[in-house]
């Protein structure tokens, strides 16, 4: 079976033939083009190790600092925008660079962006960011709190309860989690007409 692709030797790019709709293949080709581009841009024949490149680090640091500054100044929209650009910058790293480092970078930015979303009352976006944070198992009390607050404000009281309880399993005495759980439980009772 021949895949419907064309190779452009001048630009060194692969493209899926335009007349076919094959989203899976399109995804694969996009990922391959990114890797090929990253590979072409390095000096050696293949990357020597998974050591992250230092080219991106200072740029990334600047973006994050300015994003957090905006958050400090309560310019939430601005902060969200800057942090989103920071994530895009982070995603420019080549895929062979250490996953551990990349994950912590991404999570760091996501935490700040999630808070900015919460402050800006964009709860569904905040929920999504918190979801990624927890699905990569960064089980800090803050992340549980982030997801719970987003859930609560989306009317998902049971979700909020589950997340707070889960957080409390690992951080038994976290006061913020306990207090929020009390609030959520009262809200659930109200919703059930049980209060």
Range 55-94, binding another protein (CB under 8 A): 57, 61, 64, 68, 71-72, 74, 87, 91, 93
Element (H, E) at 76: helix 76-90
Residue span 120-149 as binding mask against another protein, x where in contact by CB under 8 A, dash where not: -x-xxx-xxx-xx--xxx-x--x--xx--x
Least distance in Å: CB of 21 to another protein? 14
Centroid of chain to Cα 158: 24
108 near another protein, rule: CB under 8 A: yes
Nearer to another protein, 19 or 45 (CB): 45
Helix (H, G, I), strand (E, B) or coil at 15: strand
Of 112, 113, 158, 106, the C-alpha closest to 135 is: 106
Phi and psi of 13, rounded to 5°? -125, 150
54 near another protein, rule: CB under 8 A: no
Least distance in Å: CB of 143 to another protein? 9
Tell me which of 20, 36, 59, 77 binds another protein, using CB under 8 A. Answer: 36
Least distance in Å: CB of 153 to another protein? 7
Of 68, 150, 73, 76, the C-alpha closest to 120 is: 76
Say if residues 118 and 127 touch (Cβ distance below 8 Å). no
15 near another protein, rule: CB under 8 A: no
Nearer to another protein, 19 or 106 (CB): 106
Nearer to another protein, 16 or 18 (CB): 16
Q: CA torsion sign, 40 to 41 to 46 to 47?
A: negative
């Amino acid at each position: 079976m021949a895949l419907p692709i064309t190779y452009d030797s001048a630009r060194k790019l692969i493209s899926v033939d335009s007349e076919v709709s094959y989203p899976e293949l399109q995804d694969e080709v996009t990922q391959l083009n990114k890797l090929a581009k990253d590979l072409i841009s390095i000096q050696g024949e293949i990357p020597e190790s998974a050591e992250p490149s230092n080219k991106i680090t200072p740029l990334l640091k600047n973006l994050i600092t300015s994003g957090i500054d905006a958050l400090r100044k309560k310019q939430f929209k601005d902060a969200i925008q800057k942090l989103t650009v920071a994530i895009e910058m982070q995603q420019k790293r080549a895929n062979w660079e250490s996953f551990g480092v990349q994950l912590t970078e991404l999570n760091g930015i996501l935490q700040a962006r999630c808070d900015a979303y919460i402050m800006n009352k964009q709860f569904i976006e905040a929920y999504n960011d918190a979801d990624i944070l927890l699905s990569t198992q960064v089980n800090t009390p803050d992340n549980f709190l982030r997801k719970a607050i987003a859930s609560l404000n989306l009317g998902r009281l049971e979700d909020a309860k589950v997340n707070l309880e889960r957080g409390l399993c690992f951080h038994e005495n976290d006061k913020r989690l306990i207090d929020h759980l009390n609030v959520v439980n009262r809200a659930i009772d109200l919703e059930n007409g049980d209060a």
